[in-house]
Amino acid sequence: MTPPSDRPVTPENLPAAPQGLAATPQDSVATAQGLAAERTALAWRRTAIGCMANLLLFVRAAATSEYRPVVILAVVAIAALAVVTVVCVRRGAVLHSHRKGNWGNGRRSITAFAGTISAVVATALGIAFAYAVSAA
């Protein structure tokens, strides 16, 4: 048991608030921003895993299809997966860095990701169209 201190009780010598509990509005905003960054990093990973599953489906389709041009789709899918992995890792590193307030708006990551997926979808559409024409 600690002997009673004869110092006056002021906000300065009150015990510190437990970790994780927001003490001030500023701390609360910082914690909320940290959690938002964490959720965003998780969303990137979830999306990258979805991409991986999707693009593997393309590679499998190319391996089993007799229609040869589907190989182009597999090559595009593998290249896209490489780009998506790099984008996800780099954005994740920025979001996990604890330089709070310096996460950027992710413009480069988002542009690269949207461009890559759009290129994959455009290739898939082109090949589906060519297949439909050749089958007709």
Partner 1 sequence: MDYRFTLANERTFLAWMRTALGLLAGGVAVHELVRPFRHHGLRSAVAMSCLVLAAVIAVGAYGRWRHVQSAMERGDRLPRTVMVPILAAGIAVIAVLASVGLLLS
Binding site for partner 1 (CB under 8 A): 29, 32-33, 36-37, 39-40, 43-44, 46-47, 50-51, 53-54, 57-58, 61, 64-65, 101, 103, 105-107, 110-111, 113-114, 117-118, 120-122, 124-125, 128-129, 131-132, 135
Would you say 124 and 115 are in contact if contact means Cβ atoms under 8 Å apart? no
Would you say 34 and 91 are in contact if contact means Cβ atoms under 8 Å apart? no
Q: C-beta of 20: minimal distance to partner 1 in Å?
A: 18
Q: C-beta of 91: minimal distance to partner 1 in Å?
A: 9
Cα–Cα distances in angstroms (integers) from residue 94 to residues 26, 65, 107, 109, 114, in the given order: 22, 40, 13, 11, 19
Q: C-beta of 134: minimal distance to partner 1 in Å?
A: 12
